[in-house]
Chain A
Amino acid sequence: AQSVTQLDSQVPVFEEAPVELRCNYSSSVSVYLFWYVQYPNQGLQLLLKYLSGSTLVKGINGFEAEFNKSQTSFHLRKPSVHISDTAEYFCAVSGMDTGRRALTFGSGTRLQVQP
Chain B
Amino acid sequence: GAVVSQHPSRVICKSGTSVKIECRSLDFQATTMFWYRQFPKKSLMLMATSNEGSKATYEQGVEKDKFLINHASLTLSTLTVTSAHPEDSSFYICSAIAGAYEQYFGPGTRLTVT
Q: Is the interface of B mostly helix, strand, loop or mixed?
A: strand
Measured in the bound complex, the distance between the Cα atoms of B101 and A36 in whole Å is 15
Nearest CB on B from A4, distance (A)? 9
Measured in the bound complex, the distance between the Cα atoms of B110 and A102 in whole Å is 22
Q: Are A102 and B46 in contact (CB under 8 A)?
A: yes
Nearest CB on B from A100, distance (A)? 9
B-side interface size class: 20 to 34
Nearest CB on B from A3, distance (A)? 11
Measured in the bound complex, the distance between the Cα atoms of B100 and A7 in whole Å is 30
Among residues 7 to 57 in chain A, which have CB atoms less than 8 Å away from a CB atom of chain B? 32, 36, 41-46, 49, 51
Q: Which of A101, A104, A106, A107 contacts B97 (CB 8 A)?
A: A101
Contacts of B46 in A (CB 8 A): 102-104
Contacts of B8 in A (CB 8 A): none
Q: Are B108 and A105 in contact (CB under 8 A)?
A: no
Interface string of A76-115 (1 = CB under 8 A from B): 0000000000000010001010100111111110000000
Measured in the bound complex, the distance between the Cα atoms of B107 and A90 in whole Å is 15
B49 at interface by CB-CB < 8 Å: yes
B34 at interface by CB-CB < 8 Å: yes
Q: Is the interface of A mostly helix, strand, loop or mixed?
A: loop
Q: Are A49 and B102 in contact (CB under 8 A)?
A: yes
Interface contacts beyond A32-B101, A41-B108, A94-B103: sample of 13 additional A-B pairs, CB < 8 Å, sorted by A: A41-B91, A41-B110, A42-B108, A44-B105, A46-B103, A46-B104, A94-B101, A101-B97, A103-B34, A103-B46, A104-B46, A105-B45, A108-B42
Please report A residues at the B interface, Cβ cutoff 8 Å. 32, 36, 41-46, 49, 51, 90, 94, 96, 98, 101-108
Please report B residues at the A interface, Cβ cutoff 8 Å. 4, 6, 32, 34, 42-46, 49, 91, 93, 95, 97, 100-108, 110
Name 23 interchain pairs, CB-CB below 8 A, sorted by A. A41-B110, A42-B107, A43-B4, A43-B93, A43-B105, A43-B106, A43-B107, A43-B108, A44-B44, A46-B104, A94-B101, A96-B101, A98-B100, A101-B32, A101-B97, A101-B101, A102-B49, A103-B34, A103-B44, A103-B46, A105-B44, A106-B43, A107-B43
